Structure 1
Amino acid sequence: MKKITLTSLALFFCALAYSQALYRTYPSEILDEERQVKILKPRSYNKNPDKTYPLVIVLDGDYLFEPVAGNVDYLSYWDQMPESFVVGVNMKESRYDDAAIDYKTGLPGERGQKFMDFLMELRGTMMEEYRVTPFTVIIGKDITANLSAYYLLRKKVPVNAFIQIAPEYSRLVEENLVRKMGDQQEYTYFYVGTPETTDVDGTFFDTITDSLFIGRENLNMKHEQIANSNKYSVAVDAISRGLQYSFQEYGMIDEQALYKAGVEEDVQIAAEEEMMEEDMLDEESDEDAEDKKEKKKKKKKRDKSKVSVVKVLQEKYKFIEEVYGIQMKLRLIDIATIASFLKNREDWDEMINLGSLTSKEYPELAYGPYLQALGYEGIGRIPRAIDLLNEAYTLEPAAGITQTNVLDKLEILKAEERN
């Protein structure tokens, strides 16, 4: 029953994308011929004249466009990736010529080189005609996946993310892929999805990437063997997984990841404090009061150096703008996730900072002053918390905080202040 439901859902979104697609005959100067392309515009494109969108180029668009467009539409609806333009290139009659490799040189033949240039010509046209960011994803399957990998072998790589579905790599690509990936200075994502029984076992990724990619946060390379799939069905999972991998930093903040990081941080701090206490006991007989005072200062300084989750939130959105080319307001759901994390950890100073940041981003909403009030209550400054709640009462409800919630909290704090 579950499989039927998921299949029906996938078919629904594929049909939706199909119905929204624009069909266009593209006259290419490079190929000196016309090519058929399909274009899916983001849902919000006409409603948001200032918003920009990444570009997803789909090779084998005659059969891969609909599943890719459906996944982009679905994942962006749930904010797992940004809304994006999807462009599918029809290759039904020409794929073997377009993707042909000259096995004497190991490079794409003359036709293949021109086709690669044509795809960048198409990319340039999309950026001129629409509000498309430079961040570009390219998706291919078997021989077209191999062809797209050759962009990494060029001096200037105009592609930021590669989704490779059951690739059939030529020897030149296989021998140079990981090394060329390691040469990249920009943020680059390379996802390979293969059937469980594929001949490409991924060892040429695993044995080299550890040494080349260590300390390189801009390099992201992943190979997955997808269970219960064959060379036809593998595309269904690989497209979705590849898109999420390519836009992993865009997705909403994971509360579980925050708690995991918080627990690890607590363990590290506890260990450091235990070591310092042992050192102080060992040296207690020899040190004077001034030395003890200096140690306390150092300990206090270390406590303040803990990672700020509010700064993490700000850095996330800075990354989204700089890498994906998307300017966006802080999502309320991300703010709420951070607030829940801070409340459970009783980190009231950070809660005040989060509330202040929220008020700057959403001055019309009650949520910012409300979070600041929680922080000031936590550090014992009740009068300041009451002032902020009075301010919140005059603003619009958001994130589940209504005027009733504000009034209830005011009554509690006023009673506490009287007592």
Structure 2
Amino acid sequence: MKKTTHTLLFLLFSLVSFSQQTIPHEIASTILETNRNIKIYLPEGYEESPDKNYPLTLVLDEAYLFDLYVANAVLFAKRDKAPQQIVVGISMEETKGNDISFDIRSGRLSATASRFYQFLRDEVLLYIESTYRTSPFISVLGQNYSANFITHFLQERKPFINAFICINPSFSDFFGQQLQSYNMPKYGKEDNTFYFYSNNSTALSAERQLKIDQIQQGLTGIKLKNFNVINDVITTPSPVSAVSEAIPRALTKIFEIYSSISKEEYDKNIKDLSPEDAIYYLENKYLEIQYLFGSNLGMRQTDIFAIENIIIEKENGDKLRDFGQMILNILPSSPLGEYYIGRYYESGKMYKKALEYYKIGYGKMDPSDPNFDAYYENIIRVSGQ
């Protein structure tokens, strides 16, 4: 309860603070032949970081979901569980039904909804990407019938939406047939990562739960290495609370690669790797973070330590030098690169070489570092050999 209270207090505080970073904008749409309001949230530090790019999220049902999504995005970024994001809320208050309507006999978008689709794709995205510093990673979020609407982006010949977040969805009866017509194997040919999150909920009608369950089972059959299907079930008596739970649960999965290596990630993807493959995995993780999210994190020490035992204990530590060199390339100011190279030479009884690297690494350390004295013990140990 205490943890939940702290989270709610943070979200309430965020609602006040991020409002100062939200920009209202009116788009004069030639496609819709009218003006449409959007809200643009720019993350803290945006103006002070001119070389940094940010993933983009489009939120439909802006009046209902925008503030809630942004509050969660801020919380995840502050906890280093997700990158900072640019979030765009799309106003649908007056014309929501027309914006996302579809033919109940075929599941196809209505003429007005098709224009709204084009408006999002060709006008909103064009404006945001040409005006603000966005990374290649784009998410789109909808709930109820707007969740069904966003699935139509799956039909694009060249996929450009990375994450689909469908909350309490009201899917069309024809969704399964449409999915089969979307040529889903195209996603497997892309050098990219994609996510499809949907939640079922005990707060929904039995008929709607059954439909979502059937669709989630069908989605499970999509076996593509880079298309991640996330089928969630939320137990709650209220559809509103299901929404508030679904957003952070979706963010946790969608930005899993951004977070530091968890026990789940280690057990699933790393523990059985060879030292060479473990080094590649870690290096590639950070290259993906930089490419997808525009975040140059260097490399977290916790992730270095996460694979340390594999490098030291497997193959007689023969890859310690490669491990240290990778760290030097990414974190040249860190003493860890020299430390692992020193370990490599020490294990091979090349003590002069080991001493040389230990000394260089020690010279990089701040005397206030709690590991300062422990690092010096490496120098003492090999000096006596």
Is contact 1:37–1:90 with CA below 8 Å preserved after alignment?
A: yes
Q: RMSD between aligned alpha carbons?
A: 2.8
Letter in 1 for 2:120: L
The answer to whether 1:204 aligns with 2:214 is yes
Classify the secondary structure of the residue corresponding to 2:182: helix
2:144 aligned residue:
142
Is contact 1:51–1:326 with CA below 8 Å preserved after alignment?
A: yes
2:383 aligned residue:
414
Find the aligned partners of 2:23 and 2:106 in 1 and give their Cα distance: 38
Is contact 1:367–1:399 with CA below 8 Å preserved after alignment?
A: no
Find the aligned partners of 2:359 and 2:102 in 1 and give their Cα distance: 70
Deviates more, 1:223-232 or 1:251-260: 251-260
Letter in 1 for 2:19: Y
208 and 92 in structure 1: CA distance in 2 versus 1, 3 angstrom threshold: closer
Aligned pairs, how many? 375
Is contact 2:278–2:310 with CA below 8 Å preserved after alignment?
A: no
Is contact 1:259–1:341 with CA below 8 Å preserved after alignment?
A: no
1:74 aligned residue:
75
Find the aligned partners of 2:367 and 2:153 in 1 and give their Cα distance: 46
Give the deviation of 1:145 after TM superposition.
Answer: 0.8
Classify the secondary structure of the residue corresponding to 2:319: helix
The answer to whether 1:166 aligns with 2:168 is yes
52 and 107 in structure 1: CA distance in 2 versus 1, 3 angstrom threshold: same
Letter in 1 for 2:379: L
Choose 1 or 2 for highest CA Rg.
1
1:342-373 deviation per Cα after TM superposition (whole angstroms, max 9, x unaligned)? 45668533332221111122222322212322
Give the deviation of 1:126 after TM superposition.
Answer: 0.8
The answer to whether 1:248 aligns with 2:256 is yes
The answer to whether 1:310 aligns with 2:311 is no
1:89-113 deviation per Cα after TM superposition (whole angstroms, max 9, x unaligned)? 1222221121122334422212111
Classify the secondary structure of the residue corresponding to 1:170: coil
15 and 398 in structure 1: CA distance in 2 versus 1, 3 angstrom threshold: farther
308 and 376 in structure 1: CA distance in 2 versus 1, 3 angstrom threshold: farther
How do 1:21-100 and structure 2 match up within 5 A? 21-100=22-101
Find the aligned partners of 2:7 and 2:49 in 1 and give their Cα distance: 31
Give the deviation of 1:181 after TM superposition.
Answer: 7.1
Is contact 2:148–2:172 with CA below 8 Å preserved after alignment?
A: yes
404 and 75 in structure 1: CA distance in 2 versus 1, 3 angstrom threshold: same
Find the aligned partners of 1:158 and 1:88 in 2 and give their Cα distance: 18
Is contact 1:181–1:219 with CA below 8 Å preserved after alignment?
A: no
Give the deviation of 1:226 after TM superposition.
Answer: 0.8
Give the deviation of 1:234 after TM superposition.
Answer: 0.9
Find the aligned partners of 1:330 and 1:191 in 2 and give their Cα distance: 28
23 and 210 in structure 1: CA distance in 2 versus 1, 3 angstrom threshold: closer
261 and 30 in structure 1: CA distance in 2 versus 1, 3 angstrom threshold: closer
The answer to whether 1:188 aligns with 2:197 is no
Find the aligned partners of 2:194 and 2:135 in 1 and give their Cα distance: 15
1:291 aligned residue:
none
Is contact 2:41–2:86 with CA below 8 Å preserved after alignment?
A: yes
How do 1:1-400 and structure 2 match up within 5 A? 1-2=1-2, 3-120=4-121, 121-177=123-179, 180=182, 182-185=184-187, 186=190, 187-198=193-204, 199-201=208-210, 202-205=212-215, 207-209=217-219, 211-213=221-223, 216-255=224-263, 257-258=265-266, 264=272, 308-324=277-293, 328-339=297-308, 342-343=311-312, 348-397=317-366
Find the aligned partners of 2:65 and 2:177 in 1 and give their Cα distance: 28
Is contact 1:25–1:35 with CA below 8 Å preserved after alignment?
A: yes
Letter in 2 for 1:153: Q
Gap regions ≥5 residues in structure 1 = 266-304
Is contact 2:200–2:213 with CA below 8 Å preserved after alignment?
A: no
Letter in 2 for 1:200: Q
Classify the secondary structure of the residue corresponding to 1:83: coil
Letter in 1 for 2:231: H
1:15-60 deviation per Cα after TM superposition (whole angstroms, max 9, x unaligned)? 3323321222222222222222111112232232221111000001
210 and 8 in structure 1: CA distance in 2 versus 1, 3 angstrom threshold: closer
15 and 355 in structure 1: CA distance in 2 versus 1, 3 angstrom threshold: same
Gap regions ≥5 residues in structure 2 = none
Is contact 1:52–1:131 with CA below 8 Å preserved after alignment?
A: yes
Is contact 1:366–1:397 with CA below 8 Å preserved after alignment?
A: no
1:282 aligned residue:
none
1:299-339 deviation per Cα after TM superposition (whole angstroms, max 9, x unaligned)? xxxxxx76521111122223334555655533333223333
Letter in 1 for 2:44: R
Deviates more, 1:330-339 or 1:156-165: 330-339
Find the aligned partners of 1:260 and 1:150 in 2 and give their Cα distance: 32
Is contact 2:53–2:134 with CA below 8 Å preserved after alignment?
A: yes
188 and 398 in structure 1: CA distance in 2 versus 1, 3 angstrom threshold: farther
Is contact 1:133–1:326 with CA below 8 Å preserved after alignment?
A: no
Provide the TM-score with structure 2 as the length reference.
0.87
Is contact 2:320–2:341 with CA below 8 Å preserved after alignment?
A: yes
